[in-house]
Structure 1
Amino acid sequence: MRRFLIPALMLVLAIAGPATAATPETLVEERARAEWGAQLPEGAEIRVRVNGRRPEDAVMFSDYWMDRKTGQFLANAVLENGQVQRIGGLVWASIAVPVTTRRLMPGEILRDADLDDLDLPLNRVGAYTVVDRTALVGMQVRRMLPQGRPVMQQSVIKPLVITRGDRIEIVFDDGQVRVSAPGRSLEDAHRGQELRIVNLVSNRSLVGMATEPGLVEIVR
Protein backbone atom coordinates (compact mmCIF):
# COMPACT_ATOMS: atom_id res chain seq x y z
CA MET A 1 0.00 0.00 0.00
CA ARG A 2 2.85 2.39 0.91
CA ARG A 3 4.41 2.08 -2.58
CA PHE A 4 1.29 3.72 -4.05
CA LEU A 5 1.24 6.53 -1.45
CA ILE A 6 4.33 8.46 -2.55
CA PRO A 7 3.39 8.63 -6.29
CA ALA A 8 -0.15 9.69 -5.34
CA LEU A 9 1.14 12.50 -3.15
CA MET A 10 3.56 13.62 -5.86
CA LEU A 11 0.66 13.74 -8.31
CA VAL A 12 -1.41 15.86 -5.92
CA LEU A 13 1.48 18.28 -5.43
CA ALA A 14 2.07 18.49 -9.17
CA ILE A 15 -1.58 19.33 -9.83
CA ALA A 16 -1.68 21.91 -7.00
CA GLY A 17 1.48 23.60 -8.32
CA PRO A 18 4.65 24.43 -6.43
CA ALA A 19 4.18 24.70 -2.68
CA THR A 20 6.29 26.66 -0.26
CA ALA A 21 8.16 24.43 2.12
CA ALA A 22 8.20 25.33 5.81
CA THR A 23 9.76 23.96 8.95
CA PRO A 24 7.78 21.28 10.79
CA GLU A 25 7.50 23.69 13.74
CA THR A 26 5.75 26.26 11.52
CA LEU A 27 3.27 23.71 10.21
CA VAL A 28 2.55 22.43 13.72
CA GLU A 29 1.98 25.99 14.96
CA GLU A 30 -0.53 26.63 12.15
CA ARG A 31 -2.46 23.46 13.03
CA ALA A 32 -2.36 24.20 16.77
CA ARG A 33 -3.70 27.74 16.29
CA ALA A 34 -6.54 26.31 14.21
CA GLU A 35 -7.27 23.69 16.89
CA TRP A 36 -7.31 26.14 19.81
CA GLY A 37 -9.01 28.94 17.91
CA ALA A 38 -10.69 31.52 20.12
CA GLN A 39 -9.36 29.82 23.27
CA LEU A 40 -5.99 31.44 22.64
CA PRO A 41 -5.80 34.81 24.43
CA GLU A 42 -4.37 37.85 22.70
CA GLY A 43 -0.58 37.85 22.87
CA ALA A 44 -0.23 34.09 23.32
CA GLU A 45 2.76 32.44 21.65
CA ILE A 46 2.90 28.88 20.32
CA ARG A 47 5.95 26.79 21.29
CA VAL A 48 6.80 23.55 19.45
CA ARG A 49 9.29 20.80 20.28
CA VAL A 50 9.81 18.03 17.71
CA ASN A 51 11.24 14.84 19.17
CA GLY A 52 13.90 12.71 17.51
CA ARG A 53 14.81 12.87 13.85
CA ARG A 54 13.05 15.63 11.93
CA PRO A 55 13.12 16.92 8.36
CA GLU A 56 14.46 20.39 7.72
CA ASP A 57 11.36 21.37 5.72
CA ALA A 58 8.02 19.93 4.71
CA VAL A 59 5.36 20.94 2.19
CA MET A 60 2.36 19.91 4.28
CA PHE A 61 0.97 17.37 6.72
CA SER A 62 -1.05 14.55 5.17
CA ASP A 63 -2.24 13.60 8.65
CA TYR A 64 -2.14 15.43 11.95
CA TRP A 65 -3.27 14.47 15.46
CA MET A 66 -2.99 16.49 18.68
CA ASP A 67 -4.10 15.93 22.25
CA ARG A 68 -5.43 19.37 23.25
CA LYS A 69 -4.92 18.70 26.96
CA THR A 70 -1.33 17.42 26.94
CA GLY A 71 -0.12 19.10 23.73
CA GLN A 72 1.33 15.86 22.35
CA PHE A 73 1.12 15.61 18.56
CA LEU A 74 1.84 13.20 15.71
CA ALA A 75 1.98 14.18 12.05
CA ASN A 76 2.85 12.74 8.66
CA ALA A 77 5.09 15.36 7.05
CA VAL A 78 5.13 15.39 3.25
CA LEU A 79 8.58 16.34 1.98
CA GLU A 80 9.34 18.21 -1.23
CA ASN A 81 10.23 14.93 -2.99
CA GLY A 82 6.86 13.46 -2.03
CA GLN A 83 8.18 11.18 0.69
CA VAL A 84 6.34 11.01 4.00
CA GLN A 85 8.04 11.13 7.38
CA ARG A 86 6.28 10.59 10.71
CA ILE A 87 7.16 13.17 13.36
CA GLY A 88 5.96 13.75 16.90
CA GLY A 89 6.54 16.01 19.83
CA LEU A 90 4.95 18.59 22.06
CA VAL A 91 3.14 21.85 21.33
CA TRP A 92 2.01 24.35 23.95
CA ALA A 93 0.83 27.92 24.24
CA SER A 94 2.59 30.44 26.44
CA ILE A 95 1.97 34.02 27.44
CA ALA A 96 4.04 36.77 29.06
CA VAL A 97 2.71 37.37 32.58
CA PRO A 98 3.77 40.23 34.88
CA VAL A 99 5.51 39.09 38.06
CA THR A 100 6.80 41.10 41.00
CA THR A 101 10.50 41.99 41.24
CA ARG A 102 10.36 42.29 45.04
CA ARG A 103 8.07 41.46 47.92
CA LEU A 104 5.29 44.03 48.21
CA MET A 105 3.31 44.69 51.37
CA PRO A 106 -0.37 45.74 51.71
CA GLY A 107 -0.86 49.44 51.10
CA GLU A 108 2.05 49.84 48.67
CA ILE A 109 1.40 51.24 45.21
CA LEU A 110 2.67 49.18 42.30
CA ARG A 111 5.15 50.88 39.97
CA ASP A 112 6.40 49.66 36.61
CA ALA A 113 9.81 49.03 38.21
CA ASP A 114 8.13 46.56 40.59
CA LEU A 115 7.15 44.31 37.68
CA ASP A 116 8.88 42.07 35.19
CA ASP A 117 7.58 39.72 32.47
CA LEU A 118 7.74 35.93 32.75
CA ASP A 119 6.84 33.57 29.92
CA LEU A 120 4.53 30.87 31.32
CA PRO A 121 2.66 27.96 29.71
CA LEU A 122 -0.97 28.91 29.31
CA ASN A 123 -2.15 25.95 31.40
CA ARG A 124 -0.24 27.37 34.38
CA VAL A 125 -1.97 30.75 34.18
CA GLY A 126 -5.05 30.82 36.40
CA ALA A 127 -8.36 32.43 35.52
CA TYR A 128 -7.73 35.26 38.02
CA THR A 129 -4.10 35.93 37.05
CA VAL A 130 -3.48 39.47 35.82
CA VAL A 131 -1.86 39.24 32.37
CA ASP A 132 -1.92 42.94 31.45
CA ARG A 133 1.11 44.64 33.01
CA THR A 134 -0.24 48.15 32.39
CA ALA A 135 -3.38 47.29 34.37
CA LEU A 136 -1.26 46.76 37.51
CA VAL A 137 0.74 49.99 37.47
CA GLY A 138 -0.79 52.41 39.98
CA MET A 139 -2.82 49.76 41.78
CA GLN A 140 -2.65 49.36 45.55
CA VAL A 141 -1.52 46.08 47.12
CA ARG A 142 -4.32 44.45 49.09
CA ARG A 143 -2.54 41.22 50.04
CA MET A 144 1.19 40.62 50.39
CA LEU A 145 2.77 39.85 47.00
CA PRO A 146 5.76 37.46 47.08
CA GLN A 147 8.70 38.21 44.81
CA GLY A 148 8.69 36.55 41.39
CA ARG A 149 5.05 35.43 41.47
CA PRO A 150 2.16 36.36 39.16
CA VAL A 151 -0.41 38.76 40.63
CA MET A 152 -3.99 37.68 41.28
CA GLN A 153 -6.85 40.09 40.61
CA GLN A 154 -8.07 39.86 44.19
CA SER A 155 -4.62 40.84 45.53
CA VAL A 156 -4.76 44.42 44.25
CA ILE A 157 -7.29 47.25 44.36
CA LYS A 158 -7.60 50.79 43.13
CA PRO A 159 -5.76 53.14 45.51
CA LEU A 160 -7.89 54.01 48.53
CA VAL A 161 -8.55 57.68 49.23
CA ILE A 162 -10.64 56.90 52.33
CA THR A 163 -10.32 54.07 54.82
CA ARG A 164 -12.86 52.82 57.32
CA GLY A 165 -12.98 55.00 60.44
CA ASP A 166 -11.47 58.08 58.78
CA ARG A 167 -12.73 61.49 59.83
CA ILE A 168 -14.16 63.03 56.65
CA GLU A 169 -15.89 66.12 55.33
CA ILE A 170 -19.37 65.50 53.91
CA VAL A 171 -20.34 67.80 51.05
CA PHE A 172 -23.69 68.36 49.34
CA ASP A 173 -23.62 70.56 46.24
CA ASP A 174 -26.57 70.84 43.85
CA GLY A 175 -25.06 73.69 41.87
CA GLN A 176 -26.94 76.34 43.82
CA VAL A 177 -26.40 75.42 47.43
CA ARG A 178 -23.27 73.90 48.95
CA VAL A 179 -23.27 72.66 52.52
CA SER A 180 -20.78 70.57 54.45
CA ALA A 181 -20.65 68.67 57.72
CA PRO A 182 -18.17 66.49 59.59
CA GLY A 183 -18.55 62.76 59.26
CA ARG A 184 -16.88 59.40 59.61
CA SER A 185 -16.47 56.68 57.02
CA LEU A 186 -17.91 53.24 57.66
CA GLU A 187 -16.09 51.62 54.71
CA ASP A 188 -12.96 51.82 52.59
CA ALA A 189 -13.32 53.51 49.21
CA HIS A 190 -11.24 54.47 46.18
CA ARG A 191 -11.87 57.63 44.17
CA GLY A 192 -15.31 57.45 42.53
CA GLN A 193 -16.56 54.60 44.73
CA GLU A 194 -19.71 54.82 46.82
CA LEU A 195 -19.46 54.15 50.55
CA ARG A 196 -21.52 54.33 53.72
CA ILE A 197 -20.78 57.21 56.07
CA VAL A 198 -22.28 58.73 59.21
CA ASN A 199 -23.01 62.42 59.71
CA LEU A 200 -21.51 63.30 63.10
CA VAL A 201 -23.91 66.26 63.56
CA SER A 202 -27.19 64.42 62.93
CA ASN A 203 -25.86 60.91 63.62
CA ARG A 204 -27.57 59.77 60.40
CA SER A 205 -26.13 57.12 58.08
CA LEU A 206 -25.74 58.25 54.47
CA VAL A 207 -24.32 57.01 51.19
CA GLY A 208 -21.74 59.18 49.48
CA MET A 209 -19.03 59.05 46.84
CA ALA A 210 -15.33 59.38 47.64
CA THR A 211 -13.99 62.21 45.51
CA GLU A 212 -10.73 63.14 47.22
CA PRO A 213 -8.80 62.04 50.31
CA GLY A 214 -11.06 62.86 53.26
CA LEU A 215 -13.86 64.24 51.06
CA VAL A 216 -17.21 62.55 50.39
CA GLU A 217 -19.96 63.95 48.19
CA ILE A 218 -23.56 63.01 48.87
CA VAL A 219 -25.09 61.19 45.92
CA ARG A 220 -28.44 60.16 47.44
Structure 2
Amino acid sequence: MTRSVLFRLACASVLGGALAAFIAHPADASARLKETVLVSGRVVTLGDLFDDAGDLAAKPVFRAPDPGVAGALSARDALAAAAAAGLADTDADGLTTITVERRSQTVDASMLADVVTEALALRLGARQSDLDVAFDVTPQTMAVAADGYEAPRLQGLSYQPSSGRFSGEILINAGAHERTLPVTGVVAEMVEVAVLGHSVNRGDIVNRSDLETTRMDRRRVARDAISSTDRIIGLAARRTLRAGDALTSSDFEEPKLVARNSLVTVNYNKPGLTLSARGRALADGARGDLVSVLNEQSRRVIHGIVTGPGEIEIAAEPITTAANETAIAAKDAVQ
Protein backbone atom coordinates (compact mmCIF):
# COMPACT_ATOMS: atom_id res chain seq x y z
CA MET A 1 0.00 0.00 0.00
CA THR A 2 1.44 3.35 -0.98
CA ARG A 3 2.11 6.24 1.44
CA SER A 4 -0.62 8.39 -0.20
CA VAL A 5 -3.22 5.65 0.28
CA LEU A 6 -2.25 5.29 3.94
CA PHE A 7 -2.58 9.07 4.40
CA ARG A 8 -6.08 9.07 2.84
CA LEU A 9 -7.17 6.20 5.09
CA ALA A 10 -5.86 7.97 8.18
CA CYS A 11 -7.72 11.18 7.27
CA ALA A 12 -10.88 9.21 6.67
CA SER A 13 -10.54 7.58 10.08
CA VAL A 14 -10.08 10.95 11.83
CA LEU A 15 -13.02 12.52 10.00
CA GLY A 16 -15.17 9.48 10.77
CA GLY A 17 -14.36 9.78 14.48
CA ALA A 18 -15.15 13.48 14.51
CA LEU A 19 -18.45 12.86 12.73
CA ALA A 20 -19.39 10.16 15.23
CA ALA A 21 -18.63 12.52 18.11
CA PHE A 22 -20.73 15.25 16.48
CA ILE A 23 -23.66 12.86 16.07
CA ALA A 24 -23.35 11.69 19.69
CA HIS A 25 -23.05 15.29 21.02
CA PRO A 26 -24.59 17.75 18.57
CA ALA A 27 -24.22 21.53 18.94
CA ASP A 28 -27.57 21.73 20.76
CA ALA A 29 -26.53 18.94 23.17
CA SER A 30 -28.57 18.01 26.23
CA ALA A 31 -28.06 19.82 29.51
CA ARG A 32 -25.33 17.86 31.29
CA LEU A 33 -25.47 16.98 34.94
CA LYS A 34 -22.56 18.31 37.05
CA GLU A 35 -20.64 15.96 39.32
CA THR A 36 -20.05 18.61 42.04
CA VAL A 37 -22.44 21.44 42.81
CA LEU A 38 -21.59 24.42 45.06
CA VAL A 39 -24.43 26.81 45.92
CA SER A 40 -24.67 29.99 47.98
CA GLY A 41 -28.40 30.43 48.50
CA ARG A 42 -31.16 28.46 50.17
CA VAL A 43 -32.26 26.69 46.95
CA VAL A 44 -30.63 24.62 44.22
CA THR A 45 -31.49 25.70 40.70
CA LEU A 46 -31.35 23.88 37.38
CA GLY A 47 -28.38 26.06 36.47
CA ASP A 48 -26.60 24.84 39.60
CA LEU A 49 -27.20 21.19 38.65
CA PHE A 50 -26.79 21.28 34.86
CA ASP A 51 -24.51 22.87 32.31
CA ASP A 52 -26.41 24.52 29.45
CA ALA A 53 -29.74 24.68 31.31
CA GLY A 54 -30.74 27.61 29.10
CA ASP A 55 -33.69 29.80 30.04
CA LEU A 56 -34.62 27.48 32.89
CA ALA A 57 -31.26 27.88 34.66
CA ALA A 58 -32.71 30.07 37.45
CA LYS A 59 -35.59 27.71 38.23
CA PRO A 60 -35.30 26.25 41.77
CA VAL A 61 -35.78 22.49 42.10
CA PHE A 62 -34.34 21.52 45.52
CA ARG A 63 -33.84 23.04 48.93
CA ALA A 64 -30.13 23.63 49.56
CA PRO A 65 -28.31 21.86 52.43
CA ASP A 66 -27.52 23.79 55.59
CA PRO A 67 -24.51 26.14 55.36
CA GLY A 68 -21.27 24.19 55.28
CA VAL A 69 -23.02 20.86 54.69
CA ALA A 70 -22.43 18.64 51.64
CA GLY A 71 -25.09 16.14 50.61
CA ALA A 72 -25.45 13.39 48.03
CA LEU A 73 -28.13 13.57 45.33
CA SER A 74 -28.91 10.69 43.00
CA ALA A 75 -28.63 11.48 39.31
CA ARG A 76 -32.05 9.89 38.78
CA ASP A 77 -33.68 12.38 41.20
CA ALA A 78 -31.86 15.27 39.56
CA LEU A 79 -33.07 14.29 36.09
CA ALA A 80 -36.62 13.71 37.34
CA ALA A 81 -36.68 17.13 39.01
CA ALA A 82 -35.38 18.72 35.82
CA ALA A 83 -38.07 17.02 33.75
CA ALA A 84 -40.77 18.15 36.18
CA ALA A 85 -39.48 21.71 35.88
CA GLY A 86 -39.65 21.60 32.07
CA LEU A 87 -36.05 20.67 31.25
CA ALA A 88 -36.58 17.35 29.54
CA ASP A 89 -33.46 17.12 27.39
CA THR A 90 -30.90 16.17 30.04
CA ASP A 91 -27.92 13.87 30.23
CA ALA A 92 -26.55 12.25 33.41
CA ASP A 93 -23.19 11.85 31.62
CA GLY A 94 -22.68 8.45 33.26
CA LEU A 95 -23.13 9.77 36.81
CA THR A 96 -25.21 7.93 39.37
CA THR A 97 -24.71 10.32 42.31
CA ILE A 98 -23.61 13.94 42.59
CA THR A 99 -22.51 16.11 45.54
CA VAL A 100 -24.32 19.31 46.47
CA GLU A 101 -22.62 21.62 49.00
CA ARG A 102 -23.64 25.00 50.36
CA ARG A 103 -21.03 27.72 50.82
CA SER A 104 -20.60 28.96 54.37
CA GLN A 105 -18.71 31.34 56.62
CA THR A 106 -17.16 29.79 59.72
CA VAL A 107 -17.65 31.71 62.98
CA ASP A 108 -15.58 30.36 65.88
CA ALA A 109 -14.62 31.35 69.43
CA SER A 110 -11.44 33.08 68.26
CA MET A 111 -13.40 35.33 65.91
CA LEU A 112 -15.92 36.18 68.64
CA ALA A 113 -13.11 36.92 71.11
CA ASP A 114 -11.73 39.43 68.60
CA VAL A 115 -15.15 41.10 68.48
CA VAL A 116 -15.11 41.46 72.29
CA THR A 117 -11.51 42.69 72.54
CA GLU A 118 -12.06 45.25 69.78
CA ALA A 119 -14.99 46.78 71.67
CA LEU A 120 -13.19 46.69 75.02
CA ALA A 121 -9.99 48.18 73.59
CA LEU A 122 -11.99 51.24 72.53
CA ARG A 123 -13.58 51.53 75.96
CA LEU A 124 -10.35 51.00 77.95
CA GLY A 125 -8.01 52.91 75.67
CA ALA A 126 -5.85 49.80 75.41
CA ARG A 127 -4.29 47.98 72.49
CA GLN A 128 -6.47 45.14 71.25
CA SER A 129 -3.43 42.86 70.98
CA ASP A 130 -2.86 43.27 74.76
CA LEU A 131 -6.33 41.98 75.71
CA ASP A 132 -7.05 38.30 76.38
CA VAL A 133 -10.63 37.02 76.65
CA ALA A 134 -11.81 33.92 78.50
CA PHE A 135 -15.47 33.06 77.90
CA ASP A 136 -17.46 31.47 80.72
CA VAL A 137 -18.83 29.09 78.10
CA THR A 138 -16.75 28.71 74.95
CA PRO A 139 -18.94 29.41 71.90
CA GLN A 140 -19.35 26.47 69.56
CA THR A 141 -17.95 26.82 66.05
CA MET A 142 -20.80 27.47 63.64
CA ALA A 143 -21.18 27.66 59.87
CA VAL A 144 -23.47 30.44 58.70
CA ALA A 145 -24.72 31.21 55.22
CA ALA A 146 -22.14 32.96 53.06
CA ASP A 147 -24.71 34.96 51.10
CA GLY A 148 -25.40 38.29 52.81
CA TYR A 149 -22.85 37.56 55.56
CA GLU A 150 -21.76 40.48 57.76
CA ALA A 151 -19.00 40.52 60.37
CA PRO A 152 -20.33 39.82 63.92
CA ARG A 153 -20.73 42.84 66.20
CA LEU A 154 -21.09 43.28 69.95
CA GLN A 155 -24.05 45.08 71.48
CA GLY A 156 -25.13 45.82 75.06
CA LEU A 157 -21.56 45.61 76.41
CA SER A 158 -21.20 45.70 80.21
CA TYR A 159 -17.74 45.76 81.88
CA GLN A 160 -16.53 45.71 85.51
CA PRO A 161 -12.98 47.17 85.76
CA SER A 162 -12.25 45.70 89.21
CA SER A 163 -12.82 42.10 88.16
CA GLY A 164 -12.47 42.32 84.38
CA ARG A 165 -15.86 40.67 83.89
CA PHE A 166 -17.90 41.51 80.82
CA SER A 167 -21.25 40.57 79.30
CA GLY A 168 -23.05 41.39 76.09
CA GLU A 169 -24.67 39.98 72.96
CA ILE A 170 -22.96 39.24 69.67
CA LEU A 171 -25.12 39.74 66.59
CA ILE A 172 -24.31 37.35 63.76
CA ASN A 173 -25.95 38.44 60.51
CA ALA A 174 -26.01 36.13 57.51
CA GLY A 175 -28.51 37.74 55.20
CA ALA A 176 -31.96 36.35 55.89
CA HIS A 177 -30.66 34.54 58.97
CA GLU A 178 -29.79 36.61 62.05
CA ARG A 179 -28.60 35.11 65.30
CA THR A 180 -27.97 36.71 68.70
CA LEU A 181 -25.44 35.00 70.95
CA PRO A 182 -25.23 36.02 74.66
CA VAL A 183 -21.62 36.03 75.91
CA THR A 184 -20.04 36.48 79.36
CA GLY A 185 -16.50 36.10 80.61
CA VAL A 186 -13.36 37.82 81.84
CA VAL A 187 -10.96 40.06 79.94
CA ALA A 188 -7.39 40.70 81.08
CA GLU A 189 -5.00 43.37 79.89
CA MET A 190 -1.71 41.56 79.47
CA VAL A 191 1.76 43.02 79.97
CA GLU A 192 5.15 41.52 79.20
CA VAL A 193 7.27 40.89 82.28
CA ALA A 194 10.61 39.29 83.08
CA VAL A 195 10.55 36.01 85.02
CA LEU A 196 13.08 33.42 86.10
CA GLY A 197 13.19 30.09 84.34
CA HIS A 198 14.19 28.45 87.63
CA SER A 199 14.39 29.46 91.28
CA VAL A 200 17.45 31.33 92.56
CA ASN A 201 18.76 31.83 96.10
CA ARG A 202 19.58 35.04 97.86
CA GLY A 203 22.86 36.43 96.62
CA ASP A 204 22.86 34.46 93.36
CA ILE A 205 23.94 36.53 90.38
CA VAL A 206 21.45 36.39 87.50
CA ASN A 207 22.65 35.58 83.98
CA ARG A 208 20.84 35.95 80.68
CA SER A 209 20.22 32.20 80.52
CA ASP A 210 18.30 32.38 83.83
CA LEU A 211 15.73 34.82 82.45
CA GLU A 212 12.78 34.80 80.07
CA THR A 213 9.75 36.96 79.39
CA THR A 214 6.06 36.11 79.55
CA ARG A 215 2.68 37.85 79.46
CA MET A 216 0.70 38.34 82.66
CA ASP A 217 -2.54 39.98 83.73
CA ARG A 218 -1.72 43.59 84.60
CA ARG A 219 -3.81 43.28 87.77
CA ARG A 220 -1.42 40.59 89.08
CA VAL A 221 1.75 42.53 88.34
CA ALA A 222 3.42 45.12 90.62
CA ARG A 223 3.86 48.64 89.31
CA ASP A 224 7.66 48.30 89.34
CA ALA A 225 7.64 44.98 87.47
CA ILE A 226 10.55 44.62 85.07
CA SER A 227 9.75 44.16 81.39
CA SER A 228 13.29 44.01 80.00
CA THR A 229 15.66 41.27 81.12
CA ASP A 230 18.65 43.45 80.20
CA ARG A 231 18.02 45.58 83.30
CA ILE A 232 18.81 42.79 85.75
CA ILE A 233 21.51 40.74 84.06
CA GLY A 234 24.53 40.66 86.37
CA LEU A 235 22.59 41.71 89.47
CA ALA A 236 22.20 39.62 92.62
CA ALA A 237 18.96 38.40 94.14
CA ARG A 238 18.04 40.13 97.41
CA ARG A 239 16.03 37.08 98.48
CA THR A 240 15.06 33.64 97.23
CA LEU A 241 13.05 34.08 94.03
CA ARG A 242 10.71 31.49 92.50
CA ALA A 243 10.50 30.53 88.86
CA GLY A 244 7.66 32.16 86.94
CA ASP A 245 7.07 35.06 89.36
CA ALA A 246 7.05 38.57 87.90
CA LEU A 247 10.33 40.23 88.84
CA THR A 248 10.59 43.76 90.26
CA SER A 249 13.46 46.18 90.64
CA SER A 250 13.36 45.70 94.42
CA ASP A 251 14.16 42.00 93.98
CA PHE A 252 17.76 42.76 92.94
CA GLU A 253 20.84 44.64 94.03
CA GLU A 254 24.42 45.05 92.96
CA PRO A 255 26.43 41.89 93.77
CA LYS A 256 28.20 41.95 97.12
CA LEU A 257 31.92 42.14 96.38
CA VAL A 258 32.80 42.25 100.07
CA ALA A 259 31.18 40.00 102.67
CA ARG A 260 30.87 40.84 106.34
CA ASN A 261 33.70 39.30 108.43
CA SER A 262 35.68 38.44 105.30
CA LEU A 263 39.33 39.40 104.89
CA VAL A 264 39.85 42.24 102.43
CA THR A 265 42.74 44.22 100.99
CA VAL A 266 42.81 47.89 101.94
CA ASN A 267 44.56 50.15 99.44
CA TYR A 268 45.71 53.72 99.96
CA ASN A 269 46.88 55.42 96.79
CA LYS A 270 48.28 58.87 96.11
CA PRO A 271 50.89 60.07 93.62
CA GLY A 272 54.18 58.46 94.53
CA LEU A 273 52.73 56.43 97.38
CA THR A 274 50.83 53.14 97.45
CA LEU A 275 50.08 51.37 100.69
CA SER A 276 48.20 48.09 101.21
CA ALA A 277 47.15 46.11 104.23
CA ARG A 278 44.82 43.31 105.19
CA GLY A 279 41.70 43.93 107.24
CA ARG A 280 38.39 42.40 108.15
CA ALA A 281 35.19 43.87 106.64
CA LEU A 282 32.58 44.82 109.21
CA ALA A 283 29.71 44.88 106.68
CA ASP A 284 28.68 43.57 103.28
CA GLY A 285 29.39 45.88 100.37
CA ALA A 286 28.71 46.16 96.66
CA ARG A 287 30.82 48.15 94.24
CA GLY A 288 30.76 51.80 95.32
CA ASP A 289 29.49 51.10 98.86
CA LEU A 290 31.20 52.68 101.88
CA VAL A 291 32.17 49.97 104.38
CA SER A 292 34.09 49.83 107.64
CA VAL A 293 37.22 47.68 107.94
CA LEU A 294 39.01 46.55 111.10
CA ASN A 295 42.80 46.32 111.18
CA GLU A 296 43.12 43.31 113.46
CA GLN A 297 46.67 44.19 114.49
CA SER A 298 46.15 47.85 115.42
CA ARG A 299 42.41 47.40 116.18
CA ARG A 300 41.75 50.59 114.28
CA VAL A 301 38.53 50.90 112.24
CA ILE A 302 38.76 52.71 108.92
CA HIS A 303 36.23 53.40 106.18
CA GLY A 304 36.66 52.89 102.47
CA ILE A 305 34.92 52.34 99.15
CA VAL A 306 34.44 48.87 97.65
CA THR A 307 36.24 48.80 94.30
CA GLY A 308 36.30 45.09 93.49
CA PRO A 309 36.04 41.60 94.96
CA GLY A 310 37.68 41.84 98.39
CA GLU A 311 39.13 45.28 97.58
CA ILE A 312 38.68 48.47 99.62
CA GLU A 313 40.18 51.81 98.64
CA ILE A 314 40.86 54.76 100.93
CA ALA A 315 40.51 58.14 99.23
CA ALA A 316 43.88 59.84 98.63
CA GLU A 317 42.43 63.35 98.88
CA PRO A 318 39.50 63.37 101.32
CA ILE A 319 37.15 66.32 101.00
CA THR A 320 35.78 66.39 104.55
CA THR A 321 37.31 66.59 107.98
CA ALA A 322 35.86 63.22 108.91
CA ALA A 323 37.24 61.74 105.71
CA ASN A 324 40.61 63.36 106.42
CA GLU A 325 40.72 61.69 109.80
CA THR A 326 39.85 58.42 108.09
CA ALA A 327 42.72 58.83 105.66
CA ILE A 328 45.19 59.60 108.45
CA ALA A 329 43.94 56.59 110.37
CA ALA A 330 44.23 54.52 107.20
CA LYS A 331 47.86 55.43 106.77
CA ASP A 332 48.47 54.54 110.38
CA ALA A 333 46.51 51.33 109.94
CA VAL A 334 48.35 50.10 106.87
CA GLN A 335 51.80 50.92 108.18
Structures share fold, TM-score greater than 0.5: yes
**Could you say what the CA RMSD is over the residues aligned between the two structures, in angstroms?**
3.8
Distance in 1 (CA, whole Å) between partners of 2:116 and 2:237 is 45
Instruction: Give 1:50 deviation, angstroms.
Output: 6.9
Pair 1:195 & 2:291 matched: yes
How far 1:64 sits from its partner (Å)? 6.3
Instruction: Work out whether 1:106 is the aligned partner of 2:202.
Output: yes
Q: Aligned equivalents of 1:48 and 1:148: distance in 2?
A: 22
Deviation sequence 1:18-65 (CA, Å, 0-9, x none)? xxxx9452232122126xxxxx9xxx9233457788x8355x98x865
Q: Give the direction of change, closer, same or farther, for the CA distance of 1:214–1:51 in structure 2 (3 Å limit).
A: closer
Equivalent position to 1:122, from 209, 214, 218 = 218
Give per-residue Cα distances to partners, 1:61-117, cap 9 Å, x unaligned.
Answer: 8x86532211234679999xxxxx897654321112222222323343212221222
Indicate if the aligned counterparts of 2:168 and 2:183 stay in contact, CA closer than 8 A.
yes
Q: 1-side partners of 2:272 and 2:162: how far apart?
A: 64
| Equivalent residues in 2 for 1:171-210, closer than 5 Å | 171-175=267-271, 177-210=273-306
Which segment is superposed worse, 176-185 or 91-100? 176-185
1:66 corresponds to which letter in structure 2?
Y
Question: Are residue 27 (structure 1) and residue 27 (structure 2) matched?
Answer: no
Residue of structure 2 equivalent to 1:66: 159
Counterparts of 2:223 and 2:160, CA distance in 1: 22
Tell me the secondary structure at the aligned position of residue 137 of structure 1.
coil
- Quick check: 1:161–1:210 contact (8 Å CA) kept in 2? yes
**In structure 1, what is the equivalent of residue 11 of structure 2?**
none
Q: For residues 106-130 of structure 1, give each alpha carbon's deviation from its aligned partner in whole angstroms, at most 9, with x where no partner exists.
A: 3432122212222211111134644
Residue of 235, 242, 247 corresponding to 1:151: 247
Number of the residue aligned with 1:3: none
User: Is the 1:25–1:49 contact (alpha carbons within 8 Å) kept by the matching residues of 2?
Assistant: no
Question: How far has the Cα of 1:155 moved from its partner?
Answer: 4.0
Structure 2 unpaired stretches of 5+: 1-113, 140-149, 173-179, 316-322, 324-335
Residues paired across the two proteins, number: 187
From the superposition, tell whether residues 25 and 148 of structure 1 become closer, same or farther in structure 2 (CA, over 3 Å): closer
SS in 2 for 1:117: strand
CA distance in 1, matches of 2:278, 2:308: 15
The 8 Å contact of residues 169 and 181 in structure 1, kept in 2 or not, is answered as yes
TM-score between both structures, scaled by the size of structure 1: 0.64
SS at match of 1:105: coil
Q: Which amino acid aligns with 1:189?
A: G
Please identify which structure carries the higher helix content. 2
Shift of 1:203: 2.4
- TM (norm. structure 2) is 0.45
Cα displacement (A) at 1:202: 3.8
- Residue 67 to residue 140, structure 1, CA distance change in 2 (3 Å): same
Aligned in 2, Cα 1:30/1:207: closer, same or farther, shift over 3 Å? farther
Measured in 2, the distance between the counterparts of 1:115 and 1:76 equals 42
Superposed CA deviations along residues 181-220 of structure 1, whole A, max 9, x for unmatched, are 3221111111122222223454222221100112111243
3-state DSSP class of the match of 2:222?
coil
Residue 56 of structure 1 is matched in structure 2 by 151
